[in-house]
Amino acid sequence: MAAELAMPELTPQDLSDLRQARLLLENPGLAMKLTAMLGTSLEKGFAMLPPGWSGTVAALSRKALEAAAHSAILTMKVGEQKKAAANSLHRLMVAGTGAAAGFWGIPALAVELPLATTIMMRSIADIARSEDHLITDPAIKVACIEVFAFGGPGKGDDGSETGYFAVRAGLAQVVSDAARHIAGKGLSKSAPPVMVRLLTQVASRFGVQVSEKIAAQAVPVIGALGGAVINTLFIDHFQAMARGHFILLRLEKKYGPEFIRAAYGRL
């Protein structure tokens, strides 16, 4: 009740949406979900990965994001803004790539990760559209890429440095620069410096989630079925981040970023 009194400007529906966004963005991170599913710490999986795997993951994460940005966002249609997002279809598709990766193991990562990331990018853009954002808007295209930087809170997070708004603040300048570039020149196949900076910064955070996914898949008992389940958790995580992100962007457009951030904090 106190929250409603403190935020009289928010309509009941917008307040409900704000609560939903906060619930989604403050959910446990991917590592905690994977640990709960496996019934064991991911450290076991990390120990089984080959030497130099972290560098490989970092490079693949960036390449996967670059490929996804071009192949997924550019194919979205403008119409049907209010149409519900096809979350289940995208979840099923990513589960299929996870099943294949679980069968073939770590060597399949170079093929599986770009494919799964492209499907997730498409799903994120679809969620943005369902929240009444224009996918043709350069700022929304960049916001779709930005979602991959949101890891969600983990065990050691204190909310001050790794929280949603802190990540957005850290990316604010490069996000703004990238949106201006896309507005002027579009998304070209050869990434200009400003897009390289955006993809590199997002990939550094996305790579953490990818590493956790790979560590879970490295556990010997996983197999094809486990790979499908892990990838389902993987896309579930980013779908939740996307829904929360685009709800907040919609509310910020209506009420202003400062007001929504303060209201979020009071919840």
Record the tokens describing residue 135, joined without a space. 């996918």
Record the tokens describing residue 154, joined without a space. 């983990």
Cα(241)–Cα(257) distance, rounded to whole angstroms?
18
Query: Cβ distance 121 to 73 under 8 Å?
Result: yes
Cα(191)–Cα(27) distance, rounded to whole angstroms?
33
- Using DSSP, state whether 155 is helix, strand or coil: coil
- The number of angstroms, rounded, from the C-alpha of 188 to the middle of its chain's C-alpha atoms is 22
Cα(76)–Cα(71) distance, rounded to whole angstroms?
9
38, containing H or E segment: helix 30-38
Q: Provide Rg for the chain, Cα atoms.
A: 18
Q: Which of 86-90, 231-235, 248-252 has the highest mean pLDDT?
A: 248-252
Cα(201)–Cα(64) distance, rounded to whole angstroms?
14
Comparing CA positions, the residue from 218, 177, 231, 230 lying closest to residue 200 is 177
Q: Which of 77-81, 197-201, 231-235 has the lowest mean pLDDT?
A: 77-81
Q: What is the overall mean pLDDT for the chain?
A: 81
Determine the pLDDT at residue 183. Answer: 86
Q: Which residue has the higher pLDDT, 189 or 114?
A: 114
- The number of angstroms, rounded, from the C-alpha of 196 to the middle of its chain's C-alpha atoms is 18
- Tens digit of pLDDT for each residue in 114-156? 888 999 999 999 999 999 999 889 999 999 999 999 986 654 4
Amino acid at 237: H
- Tens digit of pLDDT for each residue in 147-182? 999 986 654 444 434 589 999 999 999 999 999 988
Amino acid at 53: W
Give this prediction's pTM.
0.84
- Tens digit of pLDDT for each residue in 195-229? 889 999 999 999 988 888 888 877 765 555 577 88
Rounded to 5 degrees, what angle do the CA atoms 29, 139, 73 make? 75
Checking if the pLDDT of 191 tops 60, the result is yes
| Beta strands in the chain, from DSSP E residues, in sequence order | none
Q: Average pLDDT, stretch 55-60?
A: 84
Q: Which residue has the higher pLDDT, 44 or 58?
A: 58
86-110 burial code (b ≥16 CB/10 A, e <16): ebeebbebbbbbbbbbbeeebebbe
Determine the pLDDT at residue 21. Answer: 96
Determine the pLDDT at residue 192. Answer: 80
Q: Which residue has the higher pLDDT, 252 or 29?
A: 252
Determine the pLDDT at residue 3. Answer: 46
Q: For residue 38, what pLDDT band results from cuts at 50, 70 and 90? A: confident
Question: What are the backbone angles phi and psi of residue 182, rounded to the nearest 5°?
Answer: -65, -40
- The number of angstroms, rounded, from the C-alpha of 163 to the middle of its chain's C-alpha atoms is 14
Q: Which of 1-10, 50-59, 167-176 has the highest mean pLDDT?
A: 167-176
Question: Which one-letter DSSP state was computed for residue 210?
Answer: H
Q: Average pLDDT, stretch 104-109?
A: 63
Cα(150)–Cα(205) distance, rounded to whole angstroms?
7
